[in-house]
Every structure is written in structure tokens, then in C-alpha cells.
Structure 1
Amino acid sequence: MRYGLGLIVLLVLGYGVCLAGSAPTLGYRVVASYPHDPNAFTQGLIVIDGTLYESTGNYGHSTLRRVDLETGRVEQEIRLAPDLFGEGLTDWHGRLVQLTWREQLGIIYDAKTFERLETFQYQGEGWGLTHDGQQWIMSDGTDELRFLDPKTRRVVQRLKVRDGRQPVRRLNELEYIDGEIWANVWRTDRIVRISPASGAVTAVVDLTTLYPTSERVSPEAVLNGIAHDTATGRLFVTGKYWPRLYEIVIE
């Protein structure tokens, strides 16, 4: 198969996809699907004790919400100030930690009451957020992940992500699963699995057929949301403005 030069440049420079020697691509199987708010611009997604927590974005519409997994019903919600754009979300010892996009502001809430407990500052943009049990792991839309000390909120490590020799840019929503960092690649329907030790992509999960592009309401309606239930091993994914949340098994 022949590729035009423009396509090669787009793939390599724009999306950070390696055309040769890249990590293996894995498929998936849908085992269940559930209702999801089609107006939710999903930015962060986690599961705690079988309950879904979601951070949504867009100025004037950003929220933190608790959602019933089976029905998609929003059980509790707090709206961010109109000048804040909600981004990544993780849990930390009974608290929820939410990033904002360009405001360089992190917000910490009580996980039960959603009371805003404190805030912290960081440099650059905030995209995805997860943790490995010891450090917070943050993406900013580049090919670099930052590891933060949860006490000082300072960067203690930076990790460049590579698929073969190619940088993987536009790393977005994150989840830490069984010793690996899983990351959505923005504007694609792919998830990369990353070694936290080396930054190497160990596998790519291709979800391009999960939700047909013909049914999407906007070019922004891309895959963005990974939630792993550590108690049961169940894996959930969704996207911005997607009407369904999918439980999948990787094959």
C-alpha cells in the first residue's frame, strides 16, 4: 500500500502514530452498554465502589457529577464557575481531584459531599489525571506525562511517551490499570497503554468501530473516558457527547 507524503506527515507529526515498528493493536468486545448523558462533554471518568464519577468540560457548562452506572442518572452534581473548563478527574483517599484546562487550577472535593476543600496551582494546561497509589499522573495534551507529589503538588518526574521511536502526542484522559497508564489520544478513537517505567507504548486499543461516526453530533464527539473498577476488573469507556457508556473486554 502506498501513502502520500501529506498523509504520512499528518499521521506522524499530527497524531504521533508510528507507521512501522509500532506497538501491537488490540481489539475489544462489548459486554454491556448503559445510558450516558449525550450533553456531557466528558473529560474525566472514574468508578469508585460501583459508582461512576465524571468531570465534564466547556466554559459555562463544566461539572463534577456522581452518576448511577446502570441508568446514567445524575445523582449529584456541582457546577464549576463559568470561567473554569473542567478536565481530568481522579480519586485520592476519600477525595476527588479535578483539573481545569487553561486556568492552571486543581480543585479538591470531599468525595461524599462534593464540598470544595482546597485548590492548588500547576503550570501549563491540565488534561487527564490518574494515580498509581503513590503519585498523581497528569497529561497536558503533549507527549509528556507529569508525576506529582500528592502532598506538595509539585512535579517530581516527567515521562516522554513513545510508540517505537515516535512521540505520542495529544495524550488526554488517563486511567491507571494493572501497572500501566492507559491514555486516550485526542481526536482519535484509540487508547494507548503506557509503561510507567519507560514511557513505551505496550499496546494500542482500537475502538474506532465502537460508536459510529455517522451518529456523532459533532467532530468533538470523540472517545474520551476510561474507568476501571479495581474491585471487579470491569472496564468502561465513553466519549464526549456519547449517548452510551460501554463495558468492554480487551481481546
Structure 2
Amino acid sequence: MNLFLGLLLLVAAQPAGAVAPAPVERCGYRIVQSYPHDSASFTQGLFWDGGHLYEGTGQYGRSRIARIDLATGKALKEAHLPADHFGEGIARWRDQIIGVTWQNGVGHRWRFKDFKPVGTFTYAGEGWGLTLHGDSLVLSDGTPVLRFLDPATMTERRRVTVQFQGKPVPMLNELETIDGQIWANVWMTDFIVRIDPASGDIVSVVDLSGLKAEAGVTGSDRVLNGIAWDADKRRLFVTGKYWPKLYEIALADCR
């Protein structure tokens, strides 16, 4: 049993007379449309901008960032990380794409329009997911903590501990900002959590059970990972590591 599912069961099994924690919304999903996705891509970061998907992938010797055509899943532009760097989350800031790496403690900057490298930076701990929230980059690192960073200097401005009804939730992976909330994949689960960035409280859980099977993939490493939001058309995209499909989904049965 994964930790997050254990937390769900623990909360459901509160003894009689216990003070009930604040309710957390639960949502399912429905598939709106599916698109091709490169099944060789170990998806680590995903965002939508200006009519295209942008994807960061992992694995040593194979990590890259790419501008992706939604209809075909093909890379229109790409840049590769050094072979000894394991790529993780990516986000756009101004005229740059910023990306982090897993255990190298080194991040990369590329010029948005042509993917030309424009610098590197260092940070403490691991790098997992990355998103832009307001004027801060938000970094997940495998712990329950989200760090809010100055995009120009990568100095830490503040941090929050992500909690499900008072209990810390680790393994927060790919991140996306949607309507002021931070959405996060919980690694090795079928859950996306929606987080209040001020308090760190999980305010909603999205259960994507069955989507991996629909994508036709098996294996412990081919997990759900990747959230992208098209704010103009209000479209929500999700995918996973080595998945042959990317999905536009809509939330359903929220309660």
C-alpha cells in the first residue's frame, strides 16, 4: 500500500468521537480526447504555452526539453541535457524555460524561442517538479515541502509543508499551477492533489485510477506524471512516463 492511500484510509477510519478534520473534495475524471505521446519519453515536466506542449524528460543520456505538437506528439524543437544529468521539472519564466535535475543539484536555463542555453544555477536537495506560481518558481523535491524560489536568483523566499488533513504528504512530483492552486502528481499513485499554496493544505484529490490501464501500459516505472493547463481554452492535459497517449480530461463526480 502506498503512503498516500494509507493516509486516505487512516482518515476514513477515525474513531467515534474524534474531531473530524476538514473535508477534502474528491473528484474522478472523464476523458475528453486522447492524443499521441512519445512512448520513449520518461515524462518529468509538462506545461502548455502558446499553442504547444513543452515537455521535460528524464533518464541519464536521454534527458531533454522539447516543444511538442499536440496533434502528432512529435517534437518540433528540442535541446538535450548533459549525459550525466537526469532531467526533471520545467517551467516558463519570462523569455526562459527553466529546468531542474534530480540529484545533480544543477538547473538549466534555455531561451524560450530557440532553446539556446543561457545559464545554469545550483540548489540544495533533489529536484522533482517545477511550476511558476505568481512571481515565484515552486519546486518539489520528494519531501512534503514545496519551496518558493526567486526565478532570477533561485534563492528561497518561503516554503510550505503539504498536508492531507494534518498529515504530511511526501512524493510530490510534477507540478502545475491552475487558477491559483498548485496541482501535483503523487509519485507511484493514481492521484493528483490540489494544494492551497498559502497553507500547504490539500483541498482536493483527483483520482485517475484506470487511466494507466486505458493507456495500455504496465510496469512500476510507467506511472502517471505530467499535468499541463491551457488557460485560454481551459483544457487539462495529463500523461505518464513512457505512455503512448496524452489525455485531455475533465473533472467529474466531485463530492
Q: Same fold (TM over 0.5)?
A: yes
Q: How does 1:1-251 map to 2 (within 5 A)?
A: 11=3, 17=8, 19-20=10-11, 21=21, 23-212=24-213, 215-251=216-252
Change (3 A) 1:18 1:153: farther
* Matched AA of 2:195: I
The letter for the 2-side match of 1:169 is P
Question: What SS class does the counterpart of residue 27 from structure 1 fall into?
Answer: strand
The alpha carbon displacement at 1:131 in A equals: 1.1
**Is the contact made by 2:56 and 2:65 (CA closer than 8 Å) also made in structure 1?**
yes
- How far the C-alpha of 1:66 sits from its partner, in A, is 0.9
Structure 1 unaligned segments of length 5 or more: list them.
1-6
Contact 1:184/1:192 (CA < 8 Å) preserved in 2?
yes
1:46-78 C-alpha deviation (Å, 9 max, x unpaired): 010120110000011111111101110111111
Sort the Cα spacing of 1:164 and 1:59 in 2 relative to 1 into closer, same or farther, 3 A.
same
What is the Cα deviation at residue 213 of structure 1? 7.8
Report deviation, 1:18. Answer: 5.7
| Cα shift at 1:231 | 1.5
Q: Which amino acid aligns with 1:11?
A: L
CA shift for structure 1 position 218: 2.4
Say what the alpha-carbon RMSD is for the aligned residues.
1.7
Question: Residue type matched to 1:199 in 2?
Answer: G
Distance (Å, rounded) in 1 between the aligned partners of 2:215 and 2:86:
27
Tell me the matched-pair count: 242
SS class of match (2:211) = coil
CA distance, structure 2, for counterparts of residue 100 and residue 30 of structure 1: 31
Specify the SS of the correspondent of 2:3.
Answer: helix
Please give the alpha-carbon distance, in whole angstroms, between the structure 2 residues aligned to 1:122 and 1:17. Answer: 33
Segments of structure 2 that go 5 or more residues without pairing to the other structure are 12-20
Does the 8 Å CA contact 2:215/2:243 hold for their aligned counterparts? no
Q: Is the 8 A contact 1:11 1:18 kept in 2?
A: no
User: Alignment identity in percent?
Assistant: 49
**Alignment check: 8 A CA contact 1:161 1:199 kept:** yes
Distance 1:18 1:132, change over 3 A: farther
Please give the alpha-carbon distance, in whole angstroms, between the structure 2 residues aligned to 1:237 and 1:30: 10
Asked whether the equivalents of residues 212 and 223 of structure 2 are also in contact (C-alpha less than 8 Å), the reply is no
